[in-house]
Structure 1
């Protein structure tokens, strides 16, 4: 039996006390200069640190035609089991990382506000959350280390007054000495090596302490830095260290001091002046986010008074705390907003200064079916949905409908919106190359910026799970019905024409689902490999005799008969081989078999996709009447038929992911289609 001490020992064995000591390191200014000399990256700017943090997870480069596609593994959220993974936004994420790279190399973007723009539910907040969490984790690693300074108390040498803005300790070096110091620190470094640069001045608190000590020591700077202690900084949103978040409130409750700090009136009595930095709380979001990142939630809802602080912070890297001079900051400024707010920005001439200092990065909805499915499977899978089975294609159909609402009607004649969705998802269609698909995307300017949010779909999947308590399995129709009923009261859809369009797209999805499950049931019925092999052998014997102008030996009579044209055409017609092309197709199969024989390989019908499909459809046609699938509709099933149906059901469960309930449902649904005479292939 496990005891309390056993559990304590279990935790004790997994402790890393060396790592704890490194994270809580405290030393002198001289020791810090030694660290800078050996590891200059500790002096990186916030943009450099965020960019390096993203790259530290690795980058995959893939070819897409002539273009390169970059996948930054960081956005897969690898350290958090993918719970916040961002799917299907490779190009927007590449643009974001490029902006961070430009800022890291100081090409000008570091003087801008990064603005993530897109519809509700398009992962804007998730992307910023990933950056904040990633930066926190990175600061705990040796590669992401950064440091700040503090002042030894004059009366109690064991006490240290730490910098309230966690600023870079090299700010202690006076301006006139910085060139020489940088030359020393960067000596022997190569052209591509990271080089130390000292920019920025001490914040008001540290500047006050610095001047006070300089007077005390009669201008002896070396004695001033003897009073300095350096410590490792671990960024943390919860502890309000290096990570800030600002969310606009109503005008009555907004106060600019939330960004730049406020006077501590209790300490005025101690220090005698409201302009003494020791009587000031440097706890505004800009203050606490120094050396890290600040997020502006719905940034364009900011009051105009706040925008002045934002403009100065982005362009000049400075803020203006009450009663103090301009104060340097070093932080990534990133905000996000939706389309209505951005339109207001564009139409407001008083916001021109903000527009000029903004780098807009569109974060659209996903427009690739496979990626959209990943979004929902993250929340609805065997691990997350207890005591419920999600039938095959349920998530797929919901995702398909969501994507159809986001895609623009194709301008290409004869191309439907559903076909366009399939092209985007990697399916090939005659006459469409990768260049054509790229053109389709370029022509659709607003694609992904309109349509249904993933949140709406997630809500309706949740509704379907709880609305059918007695069902062990939820199927696509349960979810599609929830999606349809919710449109009536959808909070963001006020246009009745749009609602009607979305209802019609649900019908498109239902038709596609019918085709998919009909095909699955057909394949399950025709999954008798022995029967398929016999049918294939019979077909090959006949086309061999046909192409070589011979006769076929009848296995029953022993007589030699003419090739069975009816059998051959019944198979070829299943894959739309016209009578005028039958000779070409038959010779193509025989040439394929001959080429395999030359290489010493045996022909297998499964390796020829078209022939395999034709054989399955032919076998299905031959067997469906013997199985009497339509008898399921009338519920009159004899024992022999039930046995055959159970075999098909078992194949659906084994090969297609159904459970007993959903397999029964799908068989009854397909049976009802055939009962209506809908046998279109």
Structure 2
């Protein structure tokens, strides 16, 4: 069977066994890959998966059944990566990373993605990890060299790594997955590392701070090494024969380098003597006298990987006080045995428990050893929408999500999470006037990755708002009631989607608004519904009104395009003519008439007519000056490129299109009235009463709505009806 061969190949790769000498050869070939602490390993892992065109790490976008994709949390990703870089500088993982945020804000999902990424990376050639075990052969293989008698015989093997099970008396694994590099005595190891990285002084400086440079084997491995070395009269090569270097992979499922500690009370690490263990009887006499022990527990299993404390602050504080010393020294004390760890410590907590934690007398002690990273709900509705795309796709067999329906849900969710801008936080009076006038929907559009500015603003105001965007985004970052701390959670939204699909075959924004209108009456179930209103903010009924009006306008434009009411003018030529005449007016130049070849005065009437059609709201002189400045800036940024006026001035195209649509309202009204004849029964008799022109228009419009935007026929008719009522066509 083919699958057996494939499984065998994979198993052979992941269960690689080599001798210490072979490992050393691998080490010499690629020291950078094999000599790196966990902080560097995880940093390399994130880079291994690459970035997209928006500089988002692909790791978090990968969708796995046990580690769903995380969208829109770029800031948190950057902060985690920065902490890893800091740990690299310090030489060990010196801080506990605590992700803090409201329930359902993707804290645990972020940790899952890091664990899943580390798991996949450890299976790759670039992310290979090694540890080792001690192999003790039976007497027939090697006799008289392990304290069995005084006479030593010549050995023919230079390693016991490849012995069959029948030839092995005992195997002792490395509980902490010790790095094979630590088998080299520290003074020699340091010289080797110095030689490896003599041409990379910064890399060497960072490595010199790590346990791989200055540390040693864990206590049990050290005891075994020293006992064997004594027995072999100081011959290190004989000790290293007992080493079997093994590849290991990170696995959360099997608690190997990726472990989650739940908030229930239990000990995170334990030390247990193995004096009575049956394995001891198989060990050579030189080791049987040692007081050997084994380490167990989550902190041990997670070494050289990731240890997550889920809902850390639900545990009594005394149960994790040991983390203070661990973060300071990189070690953990187990029954007097000081054990060095190479673990990335990360945890999660909700806002309620974190608020209580800050009141604790010991909080300041923890604050020095913890890095708190806020994980709010998303404020970008487009990223919010991506969270539910897979759910919607899975539900498509029972419900058709019409265009903008999911968008409406995502916008409502974001609007429940944002606050009104406060004038006292801004120094610029013009910016203050603009931001305090933003509606919740306008702020939602502004927060999207495209940073969509309100259409109602003139050019100057748009530029002021654009330049003040960072101030708006960061306004409440350090406030106790920061944006994204409250509002509907993704878990709530997923439940809403399931309930909507239970009762609707075709789901438009109309059904979404109707359902949300009922939901906002349930003040006992959602805290955000009990917040004091601030104008339109924290005012859910107003949110729905804003969304409804916006979606009606969108469908109005889509319907006009589907009907085929297209402006016959060439926007490119039309805008070029306007810009040419504006340039001539400002510079008091003349324009060449391409027909007569003569130079003529700029046509001021044409300029005014153009500005009237785009409903210019500001001073014409100021706008014209801005237009020429923008054109000049484009030319400087794009030397030698052919000028495309529609690309440079997309806002003019949109305004011209809107002007054309407004001129066609009578036509739209007549068409919608005829289309609505078919709203109820769509019978053949009703259809036959219509003129052939209208029948063709009916078919083509519904077909275009389907082809151009994806609307189903029932949804199109429903929305046309709704549009006619709202716009009073």
Q: Given the two structures, how large is their TM-score scaled by the length of structure 2?
A: 0.73
Verify: 1:236 aligned to 2:251, yes or no: yes
Q: Is the 8 A contact 2:306 2:345 kept in 1?
A: yes
Residue of structure 1 equivalent to 2:87: 103
Q: Is the 8 A contact 1:627 1:644 kept in 2?
A: no
Among candidates 233, 237, 240, match of residue 225 of structure 1:
240
Decide which moves more: 136-145 or 309-318.
309-318
Q: Structure 1 pair 625/309, CA: closer, same or farther in 2 (3 Å)?
A: same
Pairwise CA distance, 1:623: 4.2
Query: For the residues of structure 2 that align with 1:262 and 1:602, how far apart are their CA atoms?
Result: 74
Q: What is the RMSD computed on CA atoms of the aligned residues?
A: 4.2
Q: Structure 1 pair 103/384, CA: closer, same or farther in 2 (3 Å)?
A: farther
Pairwise CA distance, 1:662: 0.9
Pairwise CA distance, 1:262: 5.0
Residue of structure 2 equivalent to 1:208: 223
Q: Is the 8 A contact 2:218 2:339 kept in 1?
A: yes
Residue of structure 1 equivalent to 2:659: 614
Query: For the residues of structure 2 that align with 1:477 and 1:283, how far apart are their CA atoms?
Result: 58
Query: What does 1:582-621 correspond to in 2, within 5 Å?
Result: 608-621=653-666
Q: Is the 8 A contact 1:248 1:301 kept in 2?
A: yes
Q: Is the 8 A contact 2:271 2:293 kept in 1?
A: no
Query: What does 1:451-470 correspond to in 2, within 5 Å?
Result: 451-468=487-504
Residue of structure 2 equivalent to 1:260: 269
Query: For the residues of structure 2 that align with 1:602 and 1:157, how far apart are their CA atoms?
Result: 81
Residue of structure 1 equivalent to 2:131: 148
Among candidates 450, 468, 489, match of residue 436 of structure 1:
468
Residue of structure 1 equivalent to 2:403: 392
Residue of structure 2 equivalent to 1:415: 438
Q: Structure 1 pair 187/400, CA: closer, same or farther in 2 (3 Å)?
A: closer
Residue of structure 1 equivalent to 2:73: 89
How many residues align? The count is 607
Query: For the residues of structure 2 that align with 1:26 and 1:317, how far apart are their CA atoms?
Result: 29
Q: Is the 8 A contact 2:676 2:720 kept in 1?
A: no
Pairwise CA distance, 1:479: 2.9
Residue of structure 2 equivalent to 1:46: 38
Query: What does 1:126-137 correspond to in 2, within 5 Å?
Result: 126-137=109-120
Q: Deviations over 1:492-533 (max 9, x none)?
A: 5286346973343233322322332233334433x244xx43
Q: Is the 8 A contact 1:51 1:104 kept in 2?
A: no
Pairwise CA distance, 1:130: 0.8
Residue of structure 1 equivalent to 2:690: 639
Q: Is the 8 A contact 1:204 1:277 kept in 2?
A: no
Residue of structure 2 equivalent to 1:34: 25
Q: Is the 8 A contact 2:43 2:85 kept in 1?
A: yes
Verify: 1:288 aligned to 2:298, yes or no: no
SS at match of 1:319: strand
Q: Is the 8 A contact 1:76 1:82 kept in 2?
A: no
Verify: 1:624 aligned to 2:669, yes or no: yes
Q: Structure 1 pair 215/384, CA: closer, same or farther in 2 (3 Å)?
A: farther
Q: Is the 8 A contact 1:43 1:146 kept in 2?
A: no
Query: For the residues of structure 2 that align with 1:602 and 1:119, how far apart are their CA atoms?
Result: 47
Q: Given the two structures, how large is their TM-score scaled by the length of structure 1?
A: 0.78
* Unpaired segments ≥5 residues, structure 2: 139-165, 282-288, 423-434, 579-604, 632-641, 681-685
Q: Is the 8 A contact 2:487 2:528 kept in 1?
A: no
Q: Structure 1 pair 354/484, CA: closer, same or farther in 2 (3 Å)?
A: farther
Query: For the residues of structure 2 that align with 1:393 and 1:416, how far apart are their CA atoms?
Result: 20
Query: For the residues of structure 2 that align with 1:577 and 1:633, how far apart are their CA atoms?
Result: 40
Decide which moves more: 397-406 or 166-175.
166-175
Residue of structure 2 equivalent to 1:377: 389
Verify: 1:367 aligned to 2:379, yes or no: yes
Query: For the residues of structure 2 that align with 1:632 and 1:457, how far apart are their CA atoms?
Result: 36
Query: For the residues of structure 1 that align with 2:25 and 2:726, how far apart are their CA atoms?
Result: 78
Q: Is the 8 A contact 2:523 2:530 kept in 1?
A: no
Residue of structure 1 equivalent to 2:595: none
Q: Structure 1 pair 364/600, CA: closer, same or farther in 2 (3 Å)?
A: closer
Among candidates 300, 304, 322, match of residue 317 of structure 2:
304
Verify: 1:119 aligned to 2:92, yes or no: no
